[in-house]
Amino acid sequence: MKKLRKVNPKKRKAQKKAAEELLAERTALLLDHPTECCICKATFKRTHETVKTWQVAVRHEAKTVRLTCPKCSAIINEFLEKRGKEE
């Protein structure tokens, strides 16, 4: 009788370990976020409102985290929209 699926526990274990390491690395990046806006240097105070309105940009390749206040993020989005229309 032929097996319906191949079970490769070593491969699954390696994949699980790699995924856990990647998650730990990315979580560490997010936990070490800056405490001020990267543009205007406004301080970030952790409240319910600021957590919802401030934007976090994580670049995994460069291992950088940028925090942007609502005012500066609006300026950035406006610039990106104009740039997108020009191209």
Q: What is the pLDDT of residue 71?
A: 93
**Would you state the torsion angle of the CA atoms of residues 63, 47, 37, 83, taken in this order, to the nearest 10 degrees?**
80
Task: Tell me which residue range forms the domain holding 43.
Answer: 33-87
The per-type count for the chain, helices as H runs and strands as E runs, is 3, 2
15 in any annotated domain = no
- Number of domains present in the structure of the chain: 1
Spatial distance between the Cα atoms of 58 and 87, rounded to a whole number of angstroms: 25
Q: Report residue 5's pLDDT band, with 50, 70 and 90 as the boundaries.
A: low
Note the pTM of the prediction, 2 decimals: 0.60
Question: What are the pLDDT digits (tens) for 6-50?
Answer: 667 888 889 999 999 989 988 887 777 788 888 898 888 888 988
72 in any annotated domain = yes
Cα 66–Cα 39–Cα 81 angle in degrees, nearest 5: 85
Contacts of 1 (CB under 8 A, 6+ apart): none
Cα 38–Cα 35–Cα 22 angle in degrees, nearest 5: 90
Q: What is the pLDDT of residue 19?
A: 94
66 in any annotated domain = yes
23 in any annotated domain = no
